[in-house]
Amino acid sequence: MLPGSEESYWMDTTSATAYPVLTDDVDVDVVVIGGGIAGICTAWELTEAGQTVALVEADRIAAGVTGNTTAKLSALHTLIYQRIRKSFDTDAARLYAASQQQAIERVFDVAARLNTDCDLERVPAYTWADSPDQLDRIRAEADAAAEAGLAASFVTETGLPFPVAGAVRVENQAQFHPRSYLLALAADLTWNGGLIFERTRATGLHDGDPCTVTTEGGRTITARRVVIATHYPVFDRALTFARLEPRRELVIAATIPAEKDPGGVYLTPEHNTRSVRTAPYREGQRLLIVTGEHFSPGTGDATEQWWRLIDWTGERFPHAEVVYRWAAQDNTTTDHVPFIGRFHPATSHVFVATGFGGWGMSTGVMAGQLLAALITGDEPAWTGLYDPRRLNPVREAGSILKLGARTVGHFVGDRAQSSHADSPADVQPGTGAVVRVRGEQWAVYRDETGAAHAVAARCTHLGCIVNFNQAETTWECPCHGSRFGVDGAVLQGPATRPLQPQQLPAEPADPAKPTDR
């Protein structure tokens, strides 16, 4: 059995929210769809600018992707500066660095202003390599990051309890408790007249002047501007799905003695990615948070990856005792720069923030500032860099073709392939499988009591066939990353509609079991 509580530390150490469901039609300047870090920061910044704002969240705010993050506030995003300098130019790398660093400073400014205790700490950030074969890439990134304006240097010593071949070190980065920070913003937002509606799923969008957003409950929000900040856009008239790749990563949190704190935020692209940071915990202890083992949603059971991450942590941090485990998900754009700005060329009213590439904390804060500025008539220097309407066929063609081929492969191939179960009766307790029933593919899960639960296996986004993730007891779409509970409920978009429940045929009685007479 996997160790640790199946809940993120951020969720476990903050109070649940209870904002109301939308029950009446409302009229505001801006409606923000999505209550993660990008949505909350955007709504807060707009309220600060004097706009009337309504934020709608399908579940609870700061509880989805943001509630399951690693929460590193860093402008050092693995090896991004070499990539941007090569794919764009040196000026683009400088703009990226400036926008990300100012977002970190914004968190310090706002946290001080709101007097919120969110465990905010200044620490250096590192991208390290174990293998000497990777040193040329590490040195090149140190040079590129310094040229972009960060306080970056190449080092061979870090605070990690094991030797490294080399690392990029960047000063004045941070780590914090993201949910504590965002709940403080939400409280301040509503105090200043902003509206937050939870358990209010947006299901329709009319792009006009004004715009209207309809919700699952049949209510309407009328607004001059709309921001889609749902992690993966739930309304995709710009065909963003062809330029976004979903990725899932596992996270464990383990106690270590306070004196063993490595004193920074760390990441290596080796070992299928390993990310390390700490957080304040109990007296004499820190919480070591380790992320890694990235994989595509819907590719099957993640149990083996969990054990690889746990074993790596135990080997590198011998005093670590796992107390939490959870998983994070994000999307990467085909040119590795997020999409933040006007959604597509035909709109001047709808904006989007997506494709954060695993760096949602600094990018989410920056997105709030950028979108608020665009909506109120300003254009920061980095507007063009993040503009979703950009398209460079030369640098994106390979990634777009690869994503398209993978999606087509799942869309066509998954309909033909067989699973390990020929019928619902073959699905064992605690497992799930896609089986054919009456000529249709159904997703069947059998719980530990033996009761079977069946839903339609076609994702309600674009119709790909879902797959079962046994480690998290979820159905996941391998095409665009939608996730569903075993009852079909939407856990993560872009899908907005649940998988349709199905009524299984009566199962024959087990002759080994006694019957009542």
Residue 216: exposure state from Cβ atoms within 10 A (0-12, 13-18, ≥19) = middle
**What single letter denotes the amino acid at residue 7?**
E
Spacing of C-alpha 154 from chain mean position: 30
Length of the chain: 517
Within 10 Å of residue 143's Cβ, how many Cβ atoms? Answer: 17
For the chain, give every residue range classified as CATH 3.50.50.60: 9-391
- Spatial contact of 179 and 62, defined as CB atoms under 8 Å apart: yes
Kindly state the tokens that stand for 162: 């094991």
User: For 266-279, what is each residue's pLDDT tens digit?
Assistant: 999 999 999 999 99
pLDDT at residue 516 greater than cutoff 80: no
pLDDT digits (tens, 9 = 90+) for 166-225: 999 999 999 999 999 999 999 999 999 999 999 999 999 999 999 999 999 899 999 999
Q: Which token pair is 150?
A: 């960060």
Q: Which CATH architecture has domain 9-391?
A: 3-Layer(bba) Sandwich (3.50)
Task: Judge contact between 48 and 213, C-beta under 8 A.
Answer: no
Binned at pLDDT 50, 70 and 90, residue 517 comes out as very low
> How many angstroms separate the CA atoms of 34 and 270, rounded?
33
| CA dihedral of 100, 104, 106, 110, whole degrees rounded to 10 | 150
List the one residue out of 341, 330, 327 whose CA is nearest residue 244: 330
Is 315 buried (19+), middle (13-18) or exposed (0-12) by CB count in 10 A? exposed
In whole angstroms, give the CA distance from residue 168 to residue 82: 12
Cα–Cα dist 288/468, whole Å? 29
- Provide Rg for the chain, Cα atoms: 23
3-state secondary structure 325-348: EEEEEEEEECCCCCEEEECCCCCC
Name which of 249, 175, 197, 190 is nearest 57 in CA terms: 197
At 204, phi and psi to the nearest 5?
Answer: -145, 150
Question: Residue 237: which pLDDT band, with cuts at 50, 70 and 90?
Answer: low
pLDDT at position 416, please?
45
Question: Which of helix, strand or coil describes residue 311?
Answer: helix
Q: Which of 69-73, 92-96, 310-314, 509-513 has the lowest mean pLDDT?
A: 509-513
- Helix residue ranges per DSSP H, 154-281: 178-191
Rounded average pLDDT over 436-453: 84
Q: Which residue has the higher pLDDT, 232 or 189?
A: 189
> Rounded CA gap, 30 and 224, in Å?
6
Tell me what pLDDT residue 438 has. 75
Band of pLDDT at residue 410, cut at 50, 70 and 90: very low
Task: Provide CATH 2.102.10.10 ranges for the chain.
Answer: 395-508
What is the H or E stretch that residue 98 is in? helix 90-114
Q: Tell me what percent of the residues of the chain surpass a pLDDT of 90.
A: 63
Mean pLDDT over residues 81-97, rounded? 95
- pLDDT class of 397 with cuts at 50, 70, 90: low
pTM, rounded to two decimals: 0.85
- Which among 197, 190, 183, 167 has a CA at the least distance from the CA of 76? 167
- Which pLDDT band, with edges at 50, 70 and 90, does 477 fall under? confident
How large is the average pLDDT for residues 433-444? 84
| pLDDT tens readout for residues 316-367 | 999 999 999 998 888 888 889 999 999 988 888 999 999 999 899 999 999 9
Over residues 85-95, the mean pLDDT reads 94
- For the chain, the average pLDDT equals 89
Structure-block tokens of residue 20: 């109301």
CATH of 395-508, one of 2.102.10.10, 3.50.50.60, 3.60.15.10, 3.20.20.210: 2.102.10.10
Please give the pLDDT value at position 415: 45
